Amino acid sequence: MVILVFFLQPGQWVCAEQAGAFEGTLTASGSRQVLDFSEGRPVFTFALEGHVNLTNAVGQTGDFWARWIGLWDAQTGGVIRCVWDDMKGHKVYVVLSGTQMKEGASLTGEFVGGTGPFEGIQGNFIFTWTTVSFETGDHVVAGYAKDIKGTYRIP
């Protein structure tokens, strides 16, 4: 008989590789700062927060609180970074890109890392803005997407 004993330090995660597909919805709202850049070429920075609800979980988690920050240029698209937090404080880091921030526009996301059980996560997803509103108040932006679809791998 062979007995194996492992000693783990607190906070260390050990699990088998996980991979899968997911889909879901997201709702986000926040503020924007418009830059008087060029006539006919809207440019703004923004900070959004919202809920990501996945019907097929990433790892063991289906609900995340997402925080986004970015720069949007109507001609060149956006430079966007996002952090998804689970209810235990673990994070998934996301790089988003797309060409427009309007209803019907698609954005792509890439998982570039995480903490805790999401450490080393990689993957991609896409979603299309179902609704985007700049009319909810002064310097406010809000959006909804019902078709997040993607894949992930956690080593």
CATH number of residue 121's parent domain: 2.40.350.10
Within a domain: 66 = yes
Has residue 6 got a pLDDT over 60?
Answer: no
pLDDT digits (tens, 9 = 90+) for 117-151: 999 999 999 999 999 887 666 688 899 999 999 99
Q: Does a structural domain hold residue 13?
A: no
Separation CA 77–CA 125 (nearest Å)? 17
Residue 98 and residue 105 in contact, taking contact as beta carbons nearer than 8 Å: yes
End-to-end CA distance of the chain: 30
Domain count, the chain: 1
Find tokens 């909804």 and name the residue: 144
- Please state, rounded to an integer, the average pLDDT across all residues of the chain: 88
Give a three-class secondary structure readout of 15-78: CCCEEEEEEEEEEEEEEEEEEEEECCEEEEEEEEEEEEEEEEEECCEEEEEEEEEEEEECCCEE
Q: Is residue 140 part of a domain?
A: yes
- 2 in any annotated domain: no
**pLDDT, position 137:** 60
**How does residue 4 score in pLDDT terms, banded at 50, 70 and 90?**
very low
- Domain assignment present for residue 41? The answer is yes
Is a pLDDT exceeding 80 seen at residue 12?
no
Read off the pTM: 0.84
- Containing domain of residue 22, as a range? 18-154
CB 36 within 8 A of CB 4: no
Query: How much of the chain is helix, strand and coil, in % rounded to 5?
Result: 0, 65, 30
Helix, strand, or coil here: 89? Answer: coil
Residue 140 has a pLDDT of 86
Query: Does position 13 have pLDDT exceeding 60, yes or no?
Result: no
* Per-residue pLDDT, 14: 52
